[in-house]
Structure 1
C-alpha cells in the first residue's frame, strides 16, 4: 500500500505497507500523543500528533506493523496534566486489569488498542442474500447460546468458534434458521454500578469501541475468529446481522467514566442548556448523531463491519436517537440520508428498534424506506390475546403485517419485524410460567425490568406445576409461535426459545453471566418434543408464507383477498371485533394458494364452517397437537379444540410434496 494523505484516511489507526496513520477529531485538547506498547504492555515510544484543519489531529509513523499496541495521551485546559484515552475507532482492543502483575494504571492505560490488518481469505464465500419473505431471524448471544452446549469442545463453548462449530451449524440448519441476529459483539465496558456489585454487563449494550470484536468471545485473535465465524455461517447459507449500539457509549452520564469522546469532543453528546448530559437512552448519555464528526465516525464503523467482516445487516438499538437533532426526530435526518446515499450501507438489511426514552421517542412506522422495524405492538397484542382477554380487533391487524405502520405496498423494502420474545423481557417458557418478574439477582430490589409482561403462569407461579398446567403451557407456547410464524412480516425468534429455556422469571438478565442466561441444551423429553415441533413449524411456514406475502403487495397478477368470518361463516360485525371470541381469517392468493386461520381462545371446542368455494382442505397446523402431521379435511366444517388454533391450506395433488408431515 502506498502512503496516503491524512485527508484520505479515516479516524483511528490505518495501516499501510510503510507504517501506520493515526487520526482523531478533537477540538477540546491542547496536546495529543500516541504511545506504543510491546506485547507485555510496556510503553516503548511516544509520538505527537499535529493539529490539522477542522480540529483533526494526525501523525504517520513508519515501520509499524499489525498488532502493535497503542493508546492516546492527552492534555486539556481543565483536566489533569495527562490523561489516557482509548481509540474509540479501534478495530481491536484489550482490557488491562488492574490486578495484572506489575501493571500501574496511573502510568499505564486501562485499555489498549491494536493496529489491525484486515486481510482475510474469504475462500470465495459470498453473502447468502436471503429474500426478506424467506428470512427467519434468530436472536442469539455469542457466549450465552453455546456456553452450556455439551456437544462442543470445552474451549470453544461461548466463543465465535463455538457458534460456527459443526454441531451448532447442524442445529441451525435443522431449525430452518436463515439469519442469526447477534447481540452486541463490539467491545464493551461494565457500568460502574455493576462493577460495584461484582456483576458484569453480559448483554454488551455499553460500547467502548464500536468496530472492535469483543475479546471475551475469542481464544486468541477476536478479529480473525469473528471473520471465520461469519465466513462459516455464510458457507452454510446463514446470514449474520449485528445488533449495534450507536445511541450512547460506555462513558455514562455526568460524573461517569472517561474513555474517549468526553475529553476529545464535548459536542459528541447531547446536552441541555446547563451543560448536563441528556439521557434519552437510559444509559446516562445520548450521542448527537447530527454532529458531523460523530456521524462520520458511526458511518466509518458500519462500513468496516460490512467491508471487513462481510456482515449482512444491522439491528440498531434505540434507533430513534439516530434520527434526532436535539429533541426532534426526522426520517430525513442526516444519518438516514447518509445511509441511503452510501452504496455499501444501503445494500444491507437495516432493522430499527423504533424508540428511545426521549421526547416523542416512540416512532414505530416512521423510519424511511429500506428500514424494517421491530414491532412491540405485535408482541403485546398477541400475548394479550392468548394469555389474557384482548379482543379480536387487537390482533387482527398484526396477523396481516401491521399495515397501519407497514403498508403492504411498501413490502419487501419495509416489513414489520414480528416477535413474541426478545432478549429483554420474559423468554417464551417464562411467559407461560410466571406472572411477575423475579429479578432479585440483579441487585436492584426487583425494581428493574419492565413490569408489564403480558404473561400468564396458567395457574401456578414458577416452573414446577401439575401435569395439567404443563400441558396448557405447552399449548400456549404453540399458539404463540404459530401466531408469530404465520403472521405476515419477518419473524424474529429468540434462540433460547428453541430450547424452552427459562431465566427463572428474570425479565432483565443483562447482568447475569451464568446459567440464567446460558441456554439450556440438556433438554427434557417435553422440551425436546417442543423443539422438534417448532423446527417443523418453521419448515411448514417456509412452504406457504412467501407466496402469500408476495400476493399481499398487490404487485402480482392476482392480488390477495381477505375475509374475516365468525365460526358460522358469516362476516364479522362490530360486536364480534370488540370481543375476545373464536374467529377465522381467509387469505386467498389464487386458486392454489390460500391460508385459512381458525382461532379459538375459548375454553370449549368450537366448530368452524369451511368456505364452500374450496371443497377440500389440508390441516397444516393444529396447536392442540404436540406434533405436526398434515391431514386432509373433506367435511364442511372443522373442530378447533379449546384454547388453540388451526391453519388450513387448499388440498391438491401436490399438497403432499410441499408439506413436511
Structure 2
C-alpha cells in the first residue's frame, strides 16, 4: 500500500505526515531487519522489503517523532542490534560493560526518529568576516559546569552555554565565534571503560548526526538548537569540531556499533582485511569509498541545515583527503564541498595532519580552507618561553606565515594561529610547569606530548613567590599579544581567559572533573588578566583587523614594511641571526595608518627610537599588567622580555 512512499534516499529515518521512511546502506547483510521499540521496550520486527544499490528500505505508516528503532542483523550465528549510522538522535547516553557482545547490543543506546522542525524566531547568521574572527575553543560541559551564576540544573549543558550570564561574558570578552569541542555522539574507548573513565573531549564519534546526550537535560536536539539560536541572537558564531577521520568502533577486536557490521569498506583496509590506523585510534574512515563520502557530506549538510552551524573544524583532516597512503588536495571530498551550495558558504578549518604516511600537510589544503598553524605555536612558545633566538622564524609567523599561506589568497587562506589548544598545556600551565603531570590519566605519565616548550619561571607548579608570579603573568601577556596581533585568525582556548590550570596535565582527555572544568573562582590576578585580554580583543578588532584586510589580496604589495634595530636603523643579514631587540614597522599605502611592534626578548630594558611624525598611541606594553591610553613620540623604553604595540592613524 505504501510502496510509493518507500524511497532509498535520503538514508536514515525521514518523517512525513503519513509515517516514516527507513533506509540503510547494508551490502554485507541482505537479511537486515528494522526493529521498532515501544515505551516498554517491546519490539516489533519489520522486513525491509525494498532494495536499491545495496540500500534496504521501507515505509512504516503512523510513525511519529520519538520512535525508538534499530536494525537487526545476524553476526556469526548471533542476533545483534546495530545503530543506524544516519541516526539523528540517541535514546540515551551510550555506555556498555566490556565486552560488547551481541546480547549486550540490545541494551545499548538506540536510534531515535527526529522531527527537525524548530522555531528559529527570525534569528540570522552572524557571518563574521575571517579577518575579524576570534575562535574561542570551548567545551560545552566543562566551561559552565562550575559557573556560580548558572542554575545548577543547566550547568554543563547546551542550555548552560547560552544563559544570560554566559552571553554577557562572551560579549564582554569580545568573542566572535565559539569553537565547540565535539558535540556529536561519542563512545568512550574500551580502555577508559575499564578504568571507569570517559572520553571527556569527545573525539570518538559514534553517530555523526546525533548530538551528544550527556550535555542535555532532556532533549539534545531541541536544546542544542536553542543554544545556537541564542548565541546567534547575540552575534556569536558556532563552529563545530567534528571527527570523521575514525569512529568509535576501533580496530581489530573493537566493538561493533554499525559501520563494521554493515559494510567493512567504510574503513580504509589493508588487503581487504586489517584496518589501517592512520589516526592512532584503531581505524581510518575511507572517503574514497562512495558511501563513506556520502555520509560525511550528508552529515555536514545536516548540521548546517538543521542546526544553523556556522562552520567546522575537522580533526586530523589529512585523513579526509587521503587516497590510500597519499594526500591529495584535489580529492573528491574537497571538490564535493567546493561545489556544494550549502557547504561552500560556511567556515572550514582543518587540522592539517594525521599520523599516517604523507600525513603532515600544513599549507596544502585547498583555497577556502583555513588551517591550524602548529608552526606558529611552536615558534612563539620557543621564542618567549625557551629563549630561542629564532628571529627569522618568529618574524615569519608574526607576518602570517606567508611561506605557507600566500597573502594573495588571504583572507580565505589566513592561518589559524594558536598558542594553546585542548590537547597540551593551558596558557597558565605553559608558564607554570616544565614537565607534564598526567598521573591522573592512569597511564603512569606516559601519555601526552613531551615537547611542551614551556617554562615554569623558576618554580614547578603553584607558588606564592611574587617575582615568579609576575614573570608568569608577563609571559602570558607576551604570548597572547603575539597571538592577537599576528596576521591570521587567533584561536584562544576558552579556559585561558580564566587563567585555568590543569595542574600540569597536558592530555586531560579523560578528566571529566575539576581538572578540566573551568575554574570561575575569583581572584585579583585572574580578573586582571581577563580584563586585559578583553581589552586586547577589542583593540585587535579595531586596529589589527583593518591591517589584515589591507594586506590581503591584490593590495598586499602597496604597503610599507620595515624591520629595524632598536636604534631605528634597518636590520642587516647578521641581525637576523642574533638580534634580541628589534622593531617591525607597518604602514598602510603611502601615508595611511601605522603600527609598530617593539620586541625585546633580552634580559635588559632597551630604548627604541621611533619614526618621526605625530605621537604614537600605546596599544599595549606587556611589561605592564594594565592597559592605559598614553602617547609617546620620539623614543620608547621597552622592558626586558616584553613586547609593545604602537599605533597612529
**TM-score normalised by structure 1 residue count:** 0.95
C-alpha separation in 1, matches of 2:44 and 2:337? 39
Contact 1:550 1:556 in 2 (8 A): no
Check conservation: 1:548, 1:594, Cα contact below 8 A.
Answer: no
The 5 Å alignment of 1:105-184 reads 105-106=103-104, 108-184=106-182
Q: Is the 8 A contact 1:98 1:105 kept in 2?
A: no
TM superposition shift of 1:523: 2.3
Contact 2:93 2:212 in 1 (8 A): no
Specify the SS of the correspondent of 2:603: coil
CA displacement, residues 532-560 of structure 1 (integer Å, 9 cap, x when unaligned):
11111101111111211121125349822
1:611-630 maps to which residues of 2 (within 5 A)?
A: 611-612=611-612, 614-630=613-629
Task: Determine helix, strand or coil for the equivalent of 2:471.
Answer: helix
Moved over 6 A (4+): none
Q: CA deviation at 1:249?
A: 0.3
Contact between 2:580 and 2:600, CA under 8 Å: does it hold in 1? yes
**1:342: which partner in 2?**
340
Q: In the TM superposition, what are the counterparts of 1:551-590 in structure 2 within 5 Å?
A: 551-556=550-555, 559-579=558-578, 581-590=580-589
The question of 1:608 aligning with 2:608 is answered yes
Comparing 588-597 with 206-215, which one deviates more in the overlay? 588-597
What corresponds to 1:15 in structure 2?
15
Report the equivalent of 1:529.
Answer: 528
| 1:272 to 1:554, Cα distance in 2 relative to 1, 3 A | closer
> Which residue in 1 is equivalent to 2:69?
70
SS state at 2:172 partner: helix
Q: Offset of 1:7 from its aligned partner?
A: 4.9
Q: In the TM superposition, what is the alpha-carbon distance from 1:388 to its structure 2 partner? A: 1.1
CA deviations 1:55-102 (Å, max 9, x no partner) are 1111111110000001111125xx233111011111101246569xxx
Counterpart residue number, 2:241: 243
Residue number in structure 1 paired with 2:89: 92
User: How do 1:397-416 residues align onto structure 2 when only pairs under 5 Å count?
Assistant: 397-416=396-415
Judge conservation of contact 2:80–2:106 (CA < 8 Å) in 1.
no
Contact 1:3/1:18, CA 8 A, preserved across alignment: no
In structure 2, the residue matched to 1:231 is 229
In structure 2, the residue matched to 1:659 is none
- Cα distance, 1:537–1:97 mapped onto 2, change above 3 Å: closer
Extract unaligned runs of 5+ from structure 1: 653-661
Q: Which residue of 2 aligns with 1:37?
A: 37
What pairs with 1:310-321 in structure 2 (closer than 5 Å)?
310-321=308-319
Tell me which residue corresponds to 2:209. Answer: 211
Q: Cα offset for 1:108? A: 2.4
In the TM superposition, residue 485 of structure 1 has moved relative to its aligned partner by 0.2
3-state DSSP of counterpart to 1:628: coil
Count of residues paired in the alignment: 641
Separation in structure 2 between the aligned mates of residue 595 and residue 555 of structure 1, nearest angstrom: 21
> 2:136, 2:493 within 8 Å by CA — same for their partners in 1?
yes
Residue aligned with 1:144, SS: helix
| TM-aligned CA distance change 1:95 to 1:497, over 3 Å | closer
Equivalent residue runs for 1:284-303 within 5 Å: 284-303=282-301
Q: Give the match's secondary structure for 1:619.
A: strand
Q: Aligned equivalents of 1:313 and 1:364: distance in 2?
A: 20
| Distance apart, 1:592 and its partner CA | 3.6
Whether the 8 Å CA contact 1:475–1:623 is kept in 2: the answer is yes
Contact 2:48 2:56 (C-alpha < 8 Å) held by counterparts: yes
In 2, Cα distance between the equivalents of 1:105 and 1:164?
A: 40
Aligned-pair CA distance for 1:609? 1.1
CA offset at residue 51 of structure 1?
5.5
Judged with a 3 Å threshold, the aligned counterparts in structure 2 of structure 1 residues 536 and 107 are, in CA distance, closer, same or farther, namely: closer
Report the CA distance between 1:580 and its aligned residue.
5.4
Any idea what SS the aligned residue of 2:338 has?
Answer: helix
Show CA shifts across 1:346-405 (max 9, x none): 110000000000001000010001000000110110000000132211210111111111
**Residue equivalent to 1:549:** 548
Cα distance in 1 for partners of 2:241, 2:481 equals 25
- Does the C-alpha gap of structure 1 residues 586 and 114 become closer, same or farther in structure 2, counting only changes over 3 Å? same
Distance of 2:423 and 2:302 partners within structure 1: 28
**Contact 1:432–1:455 (Cα < 8 Å) also in 2:** yes
Q: Deviation of residue 271 (structure 1)?
A: 1.4
- Give the aligned partner of residue 474 of structure 1: 473
Q: Distance in 2 between matches of 1:296 and 1:140?
A: 29
Tell whether the 8 Å contact from 2:26 to 2:55 is kept in structure 1 after alignment.
yes
Q: Which residue of 1 aligns with 2:461?
A: 462
Equivalent position SS for 1:607: strand
Specify the SS of the correspondent of 1:162.
helix
1:280 to 278, 281, 300: 278
CA contact (8 A) 2:551 2:557 kept: no
When structure 1 is superposed on structure 2, of 90-99 and 209-218 the one drifting more is 90-99
State the 1:575 CA deviation.
1.9
In the alignment, which residue of structure 2 is the partner of 1:200? Answer: 198
1:134-190 Cα deviation digits (max 9, x unpaired): 111100000000001011000010000100000000000000000000000001001
Cα separation, 1, equivalents of 2:497 and 2:588: 31
2:96 and 2:186 map into 1 onto residues whose CA distance is: 17
Post-superposition CA distance 1:181-237 (Å, at most 9, x none): 000000100100000011100000001011111111010000000000000000000
- Most deviating of 526-535 and 7-16: 7-16
Change (3 A) 1:4 1:136: farther
Q: Which residue of 1 aligns with 2:79?
A: 82
Match of 1:656? none
Residue 30 of structure 1, CA deviation: 3.2
Q: Does the Cα contact within 8 Å between 1:554 and 1:560 map onto a contact in 2?
A: no
Q: 1:3 to 1:367 in 2, by over 3 A?
A: farther
Q: How far apart, in 2, do the equivalents of 1:366 and 1:472 lie?
A: 38
Q: Tell me if the contact between 1:75 and 1:81 (Cα under 8 Å) persists in the aligned partners.
A: yes
Task: Tell me the distance in 2 between the aligned counterparts of 1:107 and 1:587.
Answer: 62
- Secondary structure of 1:564's aligned partner: strand
| Superposition deviation, residue 310 in structure 1 | 0.3
1:185: which partner in 2? 183
Is the 8 Å Cα contact of residues 551 and 558 (structure 1) preserved in structure 2?
no
Q: Which moved more, 1:570-579 or 1:250-259?
A: 570-579
| Consecutive unaligned residues in structure 2, runs of 5 or more | none
Partners of 1:239 and 1:312 within 8 A in 2: yes
1:188 and 1:214 in contact (8 A); partners too: yes
TM-aligned CA distance change 1:98 to 1:512, over 3 Å: closer
**Per-residue deviation, residues 547-581 of structure 1 (Å, max 9, x unmatched):** 11121125349822211111111222222112251
1:658 aligned partner: none
